[in-house]
């Protein structure tokens, strides 16, 4: 067998690797865009394939596609959905043409494999299944790619939510376990009023859960599909029942709740749903990196930092300093979330770059959204399993810092006043004394009242310390 075969498209003949399931247009794209060597993400391959499969079913049912050709397309698609032939999807994500090269790559692979199923070899010039006329029937790059973007995100959406919720649940467990631990709060990285460690960690869990709700809300917009708009939103060359049947069919094959678009033109022109979801991912990322940084601060030391927490030991921390252990999982999460935030900026810029009836930047929107999903799922899962679940409390250290905290005097403000409180705090720091000692020395409060007012645990409940109701 020869190393190459000849394929033809509207521009002429192209040499294609002999065993490649793709054809001329894919080969031109490979030659035109040798940019990164990256290939489409599995989510994109899956989403485009389910679109092609569903279209074949719809057109068979409408009597617009011969049954044997439709069945061959369906079988070829099923093979791809089962994980076969993925090495034939070869177009670099960094390309032009709104994703036409991606679309034709899928069309050609399915068409050639369908022709093989019908008994026709790859090197036969005229094959029974045509990538444009049959696999791409009633479709355009302009409506399939936006649909694939939405489906690709929704494909991994449940996994994303479960991963994030698992992280929140681990923090909630820690919050319950540590709710009796009173420690110094810190604002501006300076000593502040006491908080319970359970309150501090519980707030991390709540932040994640609030972001989960925002992600769920944003995902609803992705469920509206514009498939059937064809080239510009008019639905030219598509049966009048095609749009509704496609949405119904895609819902059935994917198990994902999907809706018909109420405006096919808007669904094709605007990438706002993708941009909105991307922004929700960015919001989650910025909160996660903030939490990771808090853990790094609280675990700093162990002898010269805060050291209220200890991160699990997962690897040596230094190639030169023996015994050093670093918060590597928190650092990994930081870097991962910075990458997610960078991807969001790309999605936003690509989203605003649409012109008139089409956004030609869709390949980058798809690539970055899929990358954001993969990176967030993988990094948060590792962070949860390898760091959060194994976080260790250093109770004695937390109590030691609290005992030295002159800001405890804040609780006395309603009794001794702000100015006296400032005097006490400054003197306590200067003379290395406790707030209690200085207040008693100055005769500002009775010992019994003072001890009650300086109950750090009670301070974490809020309210007025040392003052009874009504007086």
List the structure tokens of 436: 């209690």
**Per-residue pLDDT, 323:** 85
Contact 41, 367 (CB under 8 A): yes
Instruction: State yes or no: pLDDT of 470 exceeds 70.
Output: no
Q: How far apart, in whole angstroms, are the C-alpha atoms of residue 269 and residue 265? A: 6
Asked if residue 277 has pLDDT above 80, the reply is: yes
Q: Residue 432 region, left (φ>0) first, then alpha (ψ -120 to 50), else beta?
A: left
* Residue 107 or residue 408, greater confidence: 107
Task: Point out the least confidently predicted range of 109-113, 255-259, 454-458.
Answer: 454-458
Give the pLDDT confidence of 130-187 residue by residue, as tens digits.
999 999 999 999 999 999 999 999 999 999 999 999 999 999 999 999 999 999 999 9
Structure confidence at residue 468 (pLDDT): 52
Q: What confidence category does residue 322 fall into, taking pLDDT thresholds of 50, 70 and 90?
A: confident
Judge whether 362 and 267 are in contact, CB under 8 Å: no
Residue 128 has a pLDDT of 97
Q: What is the pLDDT of residue 469?
A: 45
Distance CA 358, CA 438 (A): 72
Q: What letter does residue 287 receive in the DSSP assignment?
A: H
Structure tokens at 431: 């003379």
Percent of the chain with pLDDT over 90: 90
Placement of tokens 């162990």 in the chain: 302
Q: Which residues are catalytic?
A: 318
What does the pLDDT look like over 9-18, one tens digit per residue?
Answer: 889 999 999 9
Among 107, 57, 42, smallest CA distance to 248 is for 57
337-352: pLDDT as tens digits: 999 999 999 999 999 9
Over the chain, what is the mean pLDDT? 95
The Cβ-side half-sphere exposure at 354, using a 13 Å CA radius, reads: 24
Q: What is the pLDDT of residue 317?
A: 80
Looking only at the bridges linking them, the beta strands covering 392-393 and 309-310 are: antiparallel
Section 278-305 average pLDDT:
97
Name the DSSP class of 18. Answer: T
- Is pLDDT of 316 > 90? no
pLDDT, position 466: 60
Domains of the chain and any CATH numbers: 4-137 (1.10.275.10), 142-392 (1.20.200.10), 405-459 (1.10.40.30)
The mean pLDDT value for 284-295 works out to 98
Contact between 31 and 17 under an 8 Å Cβ cutoff? The reply is no
Q: Whole-structure pTM over 0.85, yes or no? A: yes
pLDDT digits (tens, 9 = 90+) for 372-415: 999 999 999 999 999 999 999 999 999 999 988 998 899 899 99
Task: Average the pLDDT over 215-244 and give the result.
Answer: 96
As a whole number of angstroms, the longest Cα–Cα distance in the chain is 102
């Amino acid at each position: 067998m020869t190393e190459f075969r000849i394929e033809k498209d509207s521009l002429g003949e192209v040499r294609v690797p002999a065993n490649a399931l793709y054809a001329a247009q894919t080969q031109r794209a490979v030659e035109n865009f040798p940019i990164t060597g990256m290939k489409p993400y599995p989510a994109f391959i899956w989403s485009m394939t389910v679109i092609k499969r569903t279209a074949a079913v719809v057109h068979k049912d409408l009597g617009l596609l011969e049954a044997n050709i439709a069945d061959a397309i369906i079988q070829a698609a099923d093979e791809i959905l089962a994980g076969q032939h993925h090495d034939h999807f070869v177009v670099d994500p960094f390309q032009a043409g709104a994703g036409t090269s991606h679309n034709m790559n899928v069309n050609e692979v399915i068409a050639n494999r369908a022709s093989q199923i019908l008994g026709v070899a790859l090197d036969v010039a005229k094959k029974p299944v045509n990538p444009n006329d049959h696999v791409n029937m009633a479709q355009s790059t302009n409506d399939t790619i936006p649909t694939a973007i939405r489906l690709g995100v929704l494909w991994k959406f449940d996994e994303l939510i479960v991963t994030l919720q698992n992280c929140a649940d681990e923090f909630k467990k820690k919050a319950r376990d540590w709710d009796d631990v009173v420690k110094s709060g810190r604002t501006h990285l300076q000593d502040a009023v006491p908080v319970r460690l359970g309150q501090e960690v519980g707030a991390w869990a709540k932040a994640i859960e609030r972001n989960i709700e925002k992600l769920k809300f944003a995902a609803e917009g992705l469920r509206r599909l514009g498939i059937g708009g064809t080239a510009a939103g008019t639905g030219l060359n598509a049966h009048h029942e095609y749009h509704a049947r496609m949405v119904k069919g895609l819902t059935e094959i994917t198990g994902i709740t999907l809706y018909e678009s109420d405006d096919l033109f808007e669904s094709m022109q605007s990438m706002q749903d993708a941009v909105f979801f991307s922004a929700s991912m960015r919001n989650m990322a910025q909160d996660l990196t903030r939490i990771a940084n808090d853990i790094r601060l609280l675990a700093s030391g162990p002898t010269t930092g805060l050291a209220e927490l200890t991160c699990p030991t997962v690897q040596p921390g230094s190639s030169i300093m023996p015994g050093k252990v670093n918060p590597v999982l928190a650092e990994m999460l930081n870097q991962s979330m910075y990458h997610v935030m960078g991807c969001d900026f790309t999605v936003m810029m690509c989203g605003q770059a649409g012109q008139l009836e089409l956004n030609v930047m869709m390949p980058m929107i798809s690539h970055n959204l899929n990358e954001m999903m993969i990176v967030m799922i993988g990094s948060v899962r590792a962070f949860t399993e390898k760091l959060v679940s194994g976080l260790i409390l250093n109770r004695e250290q937390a109590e030691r810092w609290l005992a030295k905290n002159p800001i405890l005097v804040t609780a006395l403000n309603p009794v001794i006043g702000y100015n006296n409180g400032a005097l006490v705090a400054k003197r306590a720091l200067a003379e290395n004394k406790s707030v209690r000692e200085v207040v008693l020395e100055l005769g500002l409060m009775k010992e019994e009242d003072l001890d009650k007012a300086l109950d750090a645990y009670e301070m974490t409940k809020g309210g007025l310390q040392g003052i009874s109701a009504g007086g």
